Structure 1
Amino acid sequence: MTTTDVHGPIDFVLIEFPKDRLTGSTAQALMDLIERGVVRVLDLMLIGKAPDGSIFMVDLTEPSAKELGAFVEFAGARSGLLGESDAREAAVAMRDDTLAALIIYENTWAIPFVAAARENGGELIASARIPATDVMEALDALDTTI
């Protein structure tokens, strides 16, 4: 088995921004992760939620999308894993008058590790993600007890 036969873990994130704060620096940081081989973006869609709660998709190919900076470079990031129903479901979690980036990405950094585990008969039997905010709160709590 080679690493080309193996995929890293696939994750999604939904990141909400005030409308005037989605300027592209977040997309540039994501582009940096891609260039360093840390992740591979499979899908990226921008979802908007108007002040009245209505939902709209942001077309990254439109000339007006240039104000989103590096996000326009993800206009073709479509594997087909995300669809309209996913956008509607994601919008339920959003506040009104915001924009959100819904991103599906592969953790390419893990491919050699996954390949080695599989070559030795290893199978993933459980997995979970601990939100960074939970870890930071736990560490802060430990600091106050020391």
Structure 2
Amino acid sequence: MDGKAPVDLVLVEFSGNRFDGSVLAELERLSEQGTITVLDALVVSRGADGAVAWLEASGVDDRLAALVGEPAGILAAEDAEAVADELQPDTALGMLLFEHTWAGALAGAVRGVGGRLLDWERVPAAALTELADH
């Protein structure tokens, strides 16, 4: 993480705590292509009995641990606690922190010709849909 590319925190809810590996395979593909760099990940779950647990990437899956590398410690217990109360029973929430590696290369090219990035703002998909409907 060099501070030259935008970083996003993505929260994804999984009802029924079902995982088939397809999300992880897509993260691996994006990482291998240099599109993103996974900086950290946590999984927070609430069992059918209401008990809450959370795991760092290394405790979730060897493949996810390999994507994150050495535990960055950016996401921690307080992040898990912040979302745990919102989870319904038999639900899991994945927290993924990743850097837009592709954007860092673009920013470097801009700087290379004397330019500077003035602003970078995320436009929500719902806003784009609303604009397209008008």
Match of 1:88 among 57, 81, 85: 81
Aligned-partner residue type, residue 45 of structure 1:
L
1:122 corresponds to 2:116: yes
Alpha-carbon separation, structure 1, partners of 2:72 and 2:45: 21
Aligned-partner residue type, residue 127 of structure 1:
W
Cα deviation for residue 11 of structure 1 reads 0.7
Aligned-partner residue type, residue 128 of structure 1:
E
Aligned residues: 130
**C-alpha spacing 1:5/1:27, structure 2 compared with 1 (3 Å):** closer
Cα deviation for residue 123 of structure 1 reads 4.5
1:7 corresponds to 2:4: yes
**C-alpha spacing 1:135/1:108, structure 2 compared with 1 (3 Å):** same
| Aligned residues: CA RMSD | 2.8
Q: Report if the CA contact (8 A) 1:6-1:115 is conserved.
A: no
TM-score (ref. length: structure 2): 0.77
Per-residue CA deviation, residues 23-55 of structure 1 (Å, 9 max, x unaligned), is 211111111101111000010111102345442
Structure 2 residue runs without a partner (length 5+): none
**C-alpha spacing 1:24/1:136, structure 2 compared with 1 (3 Å):** farther
Match of 1:23 among 20, 25, 28: 20
Q: Which has the larger radius of gyration?
A: 1
Structure 1 residue runs without a partner (length 5+): 66-70
Q: Report if the CA contact (8 A) 1:45-1:58 is conserved.
A: yes
Cα deviation for residue 92 of structure 1 reads 3.9
* Structure 1 runs of 4+ with >4 Å offset: 59-62
Identify, as 1 or 2, the structure richer in helix: 1
What does residue range 1-146 of structure 1 map to in structure 2 within 5 Å?
7-51=4-48, 53-58=50-55, 71-75=61-65, 77=68, 78-119=71-112, 120=114, 122-124=116-118, 126-139=119-132, 141-142=133-134
TM-score (ref. length: structure 1): 0.72
